[in-house]
Amino acid sequence: MRIVIVAAALAAFATAASAQGFDPAAIFKQFDANNDGGISKEEWTAAGRPAERFDAVDTDKDGKVSQAELTAAIQKMMQQGGQ
């Protein structure tokens, strides 16, 4: 199940990836529609991400995904996808 989620997430993030690979800052900027420095659940789903994955990325459970949380999630998915 975890591999399926990782594969789906990587495919979705690929649209916001740079030519050199994943660029978490660019992905964050794309998802943070109101430019308030955090991705709300509404922004997350508006970007085409499944609502149920938001909670897994929002590790501090403050209702927003920070750039650090998104970067950590992308790095974790990339590491797991390489195994």
**Domains contained in the chain, CATH given:** 2-81 (1.10.238.10)
Cross-strand bridge partners of residue 18: 21
**pLDDT of amino acid 81:** 77
**pLDDT of amino acid 2:** 55
Q: Is the pTM of this model over 0.75?
A: no
Cross-strand bridge partners of residue 39: 65
Are the CB atoms for 26 and 18 separated by under 8 Å?
yes
pLDDT of 25-47, one tens digit each? 999 999 999 999 999 999 999 99
Contacts of 2 (CB under 8 A, 6+ apart): 80
Contacts 24+ apart (CB under 8 A), 44-50: 48/12, 49/12
> Which residues of the chain are under the pLDDT cut of 70?
1-21, 82-83
**pLDDT of amino acid 15:** 43
3: phi then psi, degrees, rounded to nearest 5: -65, -40
**pLDDT of amino acid 43:** 98
